[in-house]
Structure 1
Amino acid sequence: MASGTKKKASSKKAVKAARNSVVTKRGFPWGTVIAVVAVVALAAVVVTYYLVQSAPKRALADWVPSASNPDPSLKLAGIVTVQYQGSVHVLPTERVAYDHSPPFGGPHDGYWAACNGIVYPKAVRTENMVHSLEHGAVWIAYNPDQITGDAVNKLKAKVEGKPYTMMSPYPGLDKPISLQSWGHQLKVDSADDQRIDEFITALRTNQNTYPEVGASCDALGPGAFDPDNPPAFDPTPPGPDAKPMDYKGSTGTQQDMGAGASTAPSPTP
């Protein structure tokens, strides 16, 4: 019996030793661990990239117009709003005695300035720019003596290729930067001010805030408004013949017929 017991014990030891030998030969599963770590790291990179890339959009979500919040811009610190009558046109030779500088509503030229993501290198006649605001555009004006270099490039990035936006220098501007949409204005000191993006998000083609929903921002071309050779900005104060803010429209101009109107007077021969 003792001999049989010893044999059984010896057999168990042999089996255990064999198992330990197999485990030892297999080694630690480093390949599996490395693969799992790589997958987790990749997932972390993807999530981080998404969060970084989507951060600006998520930050602007509160500034998107909605049925419950038709004009989010009213929450912007420093916003100025005025109720203006639309559809009142003046001739290309006439000026308007605007009540703000830059103007953001009131009588305007019958030809709108191209506002399809265009950056004007020189100042443009304000009467044309105001008409574009009536079509739902946002106009970024800047003081060329205060905003230069990288600051100009930052503003350009917000405009170039973006429908219903336009940008131009505005000599004599009392602040470095001024944002305009129809009936709305916000002046800021820096191209890094987050309110610039908030203003654009809240008001560009916001159907609750401008008269001519659906109107075009495309260039009219030579004989009307040529974006390659636009009418120049006049820095002098309007004279006594300038049209007042309550003007009803000049003879010979085609007055718009309300919301959705996007026609302009026939080009001058």
Structure 2
Amino acid sequence: MPSGSESRSPQSKTGAKSAKAISAATKKKKGGAAVRGKGLPKPRQIPWMTVGAVVVILALVGLLAWNLVPKYIERRDAERFTPTESNHDPSTGIDGVAVVTYPAGQHVKANQRVAYDKNPPFGGPHDEVWATCTGVVYSKAIRNENAVHALEHGSVWIAYNPDKVSGDALDELKSRVDGKPYMLMSPYPGLDSPISLQAWGHQLKLDNADDRRIPQFISALRGNSFNAPEPNGSCSVIPGSFDPDNPPAFDPNPPGPDAVQMDGKGATPATDESAPQIPQIPQLPPTAENPPAAPPAENPPAPAPAPVPNG
């Protein structure tokens, strides 16, 4: 081989071809990747408007259920605990109700007290004047003896401890009473439970104002003619006797030794309060259209006896 000439072996040619092939393959791969990148689909967008609408609808359904379901349950319970000819006292199906049999129709005077066996009382001798029970929510405690008389007429009395019940719980109780016939409610200082419900011969003590047994008790015993000794008795205000705006004071002290006992010793038998009381009609003053009544005419003298003919 001449001097100075370049000599390439077969191995050198083969290596050069391999390098070119690798370079071409790399360029082709990059180009293919670029082409494929241009063809990728766009990411799907989340339909937030639709999702928001679904969330709002579900919230409304939940709110309606939260409001309507308890009302449905309460309406169902009202039917279940309504007294009937076959079930005179549905309250026997309410857990926690205490039942005591008391004689009725035993009255005490306004200055007398009764040595009640229960606190608050729910039967026994009572004042001759009932506490107004036309759905009155009393702001202060009322006298036991007047409240018990209201129970005798078929009312339900809700008593509560003012130190334990307030705010929303108090409003919940008021909604059960305010303006409803044969219902009354009052604070009861020193009560051993937050809430106590009374009907004649029945009592239920509770801790919470939203307890389902409250409407059950009311349905079972308010105006229950099978239970009240004087059903449908008056609950109206008695002018001059009981003022619901200024009721007789509640006395928290124990009754003295002269108190009327639960057996009625010292009480006065009641008159028939179911008989309608017809007020006397006052006489009108004499006028031209209403002249005074004429005095009764005097009886004329008797005629002289006829003479008897002789012989």
- Match 2:97 to one of 79, 84, 87: 79
Please, what TM-score do these two structures have when normalized by structure 1? 0.75
Q: Could you tell me how far apart the structure 2 residues matched to 1:55 and 1:226 are?
A: 37
Decide whether aligned partners of structure 1 residues 250 and 71 sit closer, same or farther in structure 2, where only a CA change above 3 A counts.
closer
Q: Secondary structure at the match of 1:171?
A: coil
Contact between 1:214 and 1:262, CA under 8 Å: does it hold in 2? no
Match of 1:113, as an amino acid? A
Structure 2 counterpart of 1:115: 133
Matched, 1:168 2:186: yes
**What is the deviation of 1:66?**
1.1
Matched, 1:100 2:118: yes
Q: Secondary structure at the match of 1:117?
A: strand
Among all aligned residue pairs of Structure 1 and Structure 2, give the percentage whose two residues are the same amino acid. 57
**What is the deviation of 1:210?**
1.0
- Match 1:257 to one of 266, 272, 276: 272
Please, what TM-score do these two structures have when normalized by structure 2? 0.65
Q: Which runs of structure 2 are paired with 1:169-208 in the superposition (5 Å)?
A: 169-208=187-226
The structure with the largest alpha-carbon Rg is 2
Structure 1 counterpart of 2:250: 233
Q: Could you tell me how far apart the structure 2 residues matched to 1:96 and 1:51 are?
A: 45
Contact between 2:77 and 2:216, CA under 8 Å: does it hold in 1? no
Q: Could you tell me how far apart the structure 2 residues matched to 1:179 and 1:51 are?
A: 26
Contact between 1:110 and 1:131, CA under 8 Å: does it hold in 2? yes
Decide whether aligned partners of structure 1 residues 75 and 240 sit closer, same or farther in structure 2, where only a CA change above 3 A counts.
same
Q: Could you tell me how far apart the structure 2 residues matched to 1:115 and 1:188 are?
A: 22
Q: Which runs of structure 2 are paired with 1:1-269 in the superposition (5 Å)?
A: 52=69, 54-221=72-239, 223-248=240-265, 250=267, 255-257=270-272, 260=274
Q: Secondary structure at the match of 1:86?
A: coil
Q: Secondary structure at the match of 1:167?
A: strand
**What is the deviation of 1:205?**
0.4
Count of aligned residue pairs for this structure pair: 214
Decide whether aligned partners of structure 1 residues 186 and 262 sit closer, same or farther in structure 2, where only a CA change above 3 A counts.
farther
Q: Secondary structure at the match of 2:177?
A: coil
Q: Could you tell me how far apart the structure 2 residues matched to 1:245 and 1:127 are?
A: 12
Q: Could you tell me how far apart the structure 2 residues matched to 1:262 and 1:51 are?
A: 43
Q: Secondary structure at the match of 2:186?
A: strand
Where in structure 1 are there 5+ consecutive unaligned residues?
1-40, 264-269
Match of 2:156, as an amino acid? V
**What is the deviation of 1:61?**
1.7
Match of 2:120, as an amino acid? P
Structure 2 counterpart of 1:7: none
- Structure possessing the higher relative contact order (Cα contacts under 8 Å, 6 or more residues apart): 1
Q: Could you tell me how far apart the structure 2 residues matched to 1:95 and 1:256 are?
A: 20
Q: What RMSD in Å do the two structures reach over aligned CA positions?
A: 2.1
